[in-house]
Structure 1
Amino acid sequence: MKKKVALITTGGTIASKEISKGLLNSGAMSGEELAELCQLPEDIEVKIIDVMQKPSMHIDFGQMLKVRRAILTELNDPTVCGIVVTHGTDSMEETAYFLDLTINDSRPIVVTGSQRAPQDIGTDVYSNLRNSIYVAVNEELKNVGVVVVFNERIYSAKYVKKVHASNVQGFESFGYGYLGIIDNNIVSIYQKPITKDNYQIKKQIPRVDIIKCYSGADGVFIEAAIKAGAKGIVLEGVGRGQVSPYMMDAIKKAIAAKITVMVTTSAEEGKVYPAYGYVGSAYDLKQNGVLLGEDYDSKKARIKLAVLLASVDKIVQANFK
């Protein structure tokens, strides 16, 4: 009996068509068209569900929820062994982590895409899609959560990051490595996450903004976020979680306005930690009510903070361990 995979398509480079020399229309190809071009495994039944055909930077929380609903619908079928979602690479890490936080199912959910279009020389469309299907039916990937499959590697959604604008080795997990590989259709798993967070969304996902910190930065963007109605602000600090001292007045204003503020680090590895006692340090931020973002990068911190704001009554530091 064939194993069954639901292939949910959302667009991106993996489903793009050339509209003129060197210019692509991202997400123009349907799931059926994409499947026809690929040598999909004959021993696996693939059901195709077209959800949308968009460039990934056109995908917001509303579209992420739409993808989530499509996945949950397919998971209602007990004969489905796993899910594959095709997605543009620019915001793939954000959608993958959103799904990881909001879907509680033991079966593998794989997100993949490509850096090159289907018609390009050396395209990674077919290998990434084929490998993802094999991962989606692999028993060892049960209870792991959402993973990203790219260039024969399997990454945890929490730590995966796009690291190259165009190279086929476009994703990495700095400091944590990949979970496993796919080689000649054989899936090998080397490590698994030992914890997994999951939340039930109870209300509308609010606006959460990311504000990058740099030398001499002031509170102008924080003030703008407050004015725009943000319910959460992620400060992408530096080092152990430091920000410019000129930002502190605006940060205190945001806290007073009941906006949840957290700080992460722009460093590729390491955690936010209250190591210094000066104005704008992680310690100073914590003393003023800012949450410390541990080892989350700013994009993942934003996704998690937005999900928390829509799911729980009170957000505490322990939510970011």
Structure 2
Amino acid sequence: MVKKIVKKKIALITTGGTIASKEVSKGLLRSGVLTGEELASLCQLPEDIEVKIVDVMQKPSMHIDFEKMKEIRDAILKELQDSTICGIVVTHGTDSLEETAYFLDITINDSRPIVVTGSQRSPHDIGTDVYSNLRNSIYVAVDPNLHHTGVVVVFNERIYSAKYVKKVHASNVQGFESFGYGYLGIIDNDVVSIYQKPIVKDYYIMKRNIPRVDIIKCYTGADGVFIEAAIHAGAKGIVLEGVGRGQVSPLMMSAIKRAIASGIVVVVTTSAEEGKVHPSYSYTGSAHDLQQNGVILGEDYDSKKARIKLAVLLSSVDSVDQSYFK
């Protein structure tokens, strides 16, 4: 008797982006117009893996907001109800890929691999990275060594943790990196090799609508005008992208104090690629001064990831404090 080979199965969830783009005129692309079926038809998908295609949306990634992130999450959760699904691959535009990946990481609690990928070049460009990124992502999604790893990003044969990955090049195929932490593993000739895995996994259950959270960049001579604008706009959280150990301009302090007095949660991060926010100095606008006035120190989070986490926390827990950013 010939034993029937049971294929591994993944769900390919498509959301648009350059990976699903078409050229509309010389040098200009329309992002996110290919359906999942059209995208799959262009690629040599692995024959030993069953791929279920789920079209969720066809959007440029900067058109994806929290509500659309929730749509993507809900589509993933629906597919994960099928016990025969080994893992999930999400195709996404690169400009906000790191934000969606981290949102999914802290709002989904499942041991199976969830992989987010995209491309820097369109499917029809010379030297396109569409096919290799998609194929590699599928192999990662069925690899049992990726269980209990959280959401990962696959790009240019490398596997990154969603928490620390960021887009570092506007156009090069080596578009993503994880400074200071490295990548988790590689894919070489369809073989997945894992070198390290995260040991901490955050997960939050959202109970309320996600509120407005703004990022405000700090620079020499910056005052409180953007903080005041955030207060006026109804922000429930503000992330300050400070410098170095988490310093801001002293001219911002009065507005920061007003924001906190009005009930807004304020977190300070650093614009440095590596290192943590820490109360190292004692002067107006230092991380120590900010902490003494009720600002949460954002540790090693970059401003975008801190915004995602703060927004999710504000929709999930009753009170946000320093312990959530340890």
Q: Shorter-normalised TM-score: what interval?
A: over 0.9
Structure 1, residues 202-229: CA drift from partner, whole Å, max 9, x if none?
0000000000000000000000000000
Match of 1:9 in 2: 14
- 2:76 maps to which residue? 71
Inter-partner Cα distance in structure 2 for 1:139 and 1:316: 36
Query: Which residue does the alignment assign to 2:3?
Result: none
Could you tell me which amino acid in structure 1 is paired with residue 239 of structure 2? V
Aligned partner of 2:45 in structure 1 is 40
Alignment partner for residue 207 of structure 1, among 212, 225, 233? 212
2:108 is matched with: 103
Q: Matched residue of 1:95: which SS?
A: helix
C-alpha RMSD of matched pairs (Å): 0.3
Structure 1 stretches of at least 4 aligned residues deviating more than 2 Å after TM superposition: none
> What is residue 127 of structure 1 aligned with on the other side?
132
Tell me how many residue pairs correspond in the alignment. Answer: 321
Question: Whole-Å Cα distance in 1 between the matches of residues 46 and 40 of structure 2?
Answer: 11
Identity %: 82
* Structure 1 residue 296 corresponds to structure 2 residue 296: no
String of CA shifts for 1:166-220, please: whole Å, max 9, x gaps: 0000000000000000000000000000101000000000000000000000000
Please list the CA deviations of residues 106-161 of structure 1 after superposition, one character each: whole Å capped at 9, or x if unmatched.
Answer: 00000000000000000000000000000000000000000000000000000000
Residue in 2 that maps onto 1:253: 258
Cα deviation, residue 316, structure 1: 1.3
The answer to whether residue 185 in structure 2 is matched with residue 180 in structure 1 is: yes
TM-score, structure 2 normalization: 0.98
Q: Give the match for residue 30 of structure 1.
A: 35
Gapped runs of 5+ residues in structure 1? Answer: none
Residue aligning to 1:166: 171
Matched, 1:287 2:308: no
> Which stretches in structure 2 are left out of the alignment for 5+ residues?
1-5
Q: Residue 104 of structure 1 aligns to a residue in which SS?
A: coil
Residue type of the alignment partner of 2:90: V
- Matched residue type, 1:234: V
The answer as to 2:254 corresponding to 1:238 is no
Kindly provide the amino acid, as one letter, of the partner of residue 70 in structure 2.
L
Give the equivalent residue in structure 1 for 2:276. 271
What are the superposed Cα offsets for residues 206-257 of structure 1, whole Å, 9 maximum, x if unpaired?
A: 0000000000000000000000000000000000000000000000000000
**Secondary structure, in 3 states, of the residue corresponding to 2:209?**
coil
Residue from 123, 132, 136 that aligns with 1:118: 123
Q: CA deviation at 1:98?
A: 0.0
